[in-house]
Structure formats: structure tokens, C-alpha cells
A and B are shown apart, each in its own frame.
Chain A
Amino acid sequence: ELKVEQNPLFLSMQEGKNYTIYCNYSTTSDRLYWYRQDPGKSLESLFVLLSNGAVKQEGRLMASLDTKARLSTLHITAAVHDLSATYFCAVDYAADKLIFGTGTRLQVFP
């Protein structure tokens, strides 16, 4: 059974600071996704990582994938309040379905 764990589960950070969210998964997979969810809303796609060593960046967010370590990271640079949301990683299990991580609730304060 595939398990996908994120840490931290909750992150409160000051504007302007940097931080990294970690996503560990238990079974081999070459595809990993990052999503953002605002309260009461559905998911917004952030990144799709398709191979070992993949790195993608959009604005203040950068995601990477290490398939050998079964680890993905989402790095936040110089956080701003608008980044406050819950972030999920999701692993493509056997190219068959997406299994979601536990989620990281990010709160950015002045």
C-alpha cells in the first residue's frame, strides 16, 4: 500500500522567510504532483514532476523530485501572505491513480 507523508503538517512563517515542505512516499513512482488548496475550494495544479532530478519553478515556489530517495520538496522563497493555503503532494501510483499526501497547511504572517 502506497503511503505519502508530508512534513510539516502545519507551517506558520513570517513574510520574507524561506522554508521547505517535504513529501516522502513509500513505493516507486516516477510522477509526482503538487497542488494548492484554498479553504472551501478544490485543487489548483502547481507542478508536475515527471522524472528523477526534475526541478520546476514558478514564482516563489520551486519543486524537485528525487525518485531514488522517494522524496519531493516544495521550497518557498521570500514568503508572502498570498501563499497562505494548504499544499498537497500526490503520487501517481502505478500510472493508475493519484494518492495524496497528508497536506501542509501554510500560514504566512506579516
Chain B
Amino acid sequence: GAVVSQHPSRVICKSGTSVKIECRSLDFQATTMFWYRQFPKQSLMLMATSNEGSKATYEQGVEKDKFLINHASLTLSTLTVTSAHPEDSSFYICSARGGGGLYGYTFGSGTRLTVV
């Protein structure tokens, strides 16, 4: 079945530093990938949609300069949290469309980011 690999699973960083999270589709080509953010006991909030080879589309209220998204190939999208602050601590989940058939979305295992 379709697999999306997300790394790292956990990361702790100091305030003011940047962190990169990778999302790879392992056995299918994902022209579109999505990035979600989830605070404890809350739902998943869509941050942005990335299409291979083009700029990401950010949801309203998401800071483009803070959350940099790159989708350089059909199997890899990255999210970089720049100048991280404690309020950026959250669970980040990526998703790729295509692996589950025409209507399928496949989710990565998530990244727990803690900014200290």
C-alpha cells in the first residue's frame, strides 16, 4: 500500500533556531502534498498545500515566511519552521494525495516539535 515517510518523528530545538521536517512518498508520485498542524486535544488545521515545482498555497493566517514549504520533487516535500518559538511547538503531519487511488490521501506519521 501507499506509504508516506515523515522525519524526524520528534525534535527539540532551541528558540530562534530553524527546523526542517521531511515528507516523502515512498512508492508513489505525489504531485500534491499537504501540511497540517495539530495542537493537543485539537483538530488538524491545514497550513498549506504544495504542488511539485511551484510555490505553496498557504491557508489564511499562516505565516509564509515562518513556515517555508518546498516541494522540489514528486516524492519529497519539506516544511521548515524558521526562527522557532515555544508557541510553534505542535504536532505537524504531512499528507500526500495519490497513493490511495484517485481519491486517496496518505498521511505521514507526524513530527512532534518542541521549542525550548
Contacts and interface: CB of A to CB of B under 8 A. Distances in A.
B80 interface: no
Interface stretch (B12-20, B63-71, B99-107): B99-107
B49 A97 contact: yes
For chain A, give the interface size range.
Answer: 20 to 34
A43 B107 contact: yes
Chain A's interface: helix, strand, loop or mixed, by majority? strand
Contacts, number: 43
Interface stretch (A13-21, A59-67, A68-76, A99-107): A99-107
A82 interface: no
Nearest to A49: B103
Interface residues of B, number: 21
Interface string A22-62: 00000000010100000011110100101000000000000
B46 interface: yes
Contacts of B75: none
Interface in B78-116: 93, 95, 100, 103-105, 107-110, 112
Given A48-B100, A48-B104, A100-B46, 7 more contacts: A42-B6, A42-B108, A43-B93, A45-B100, A97-B49, A98-B46, A102-B43
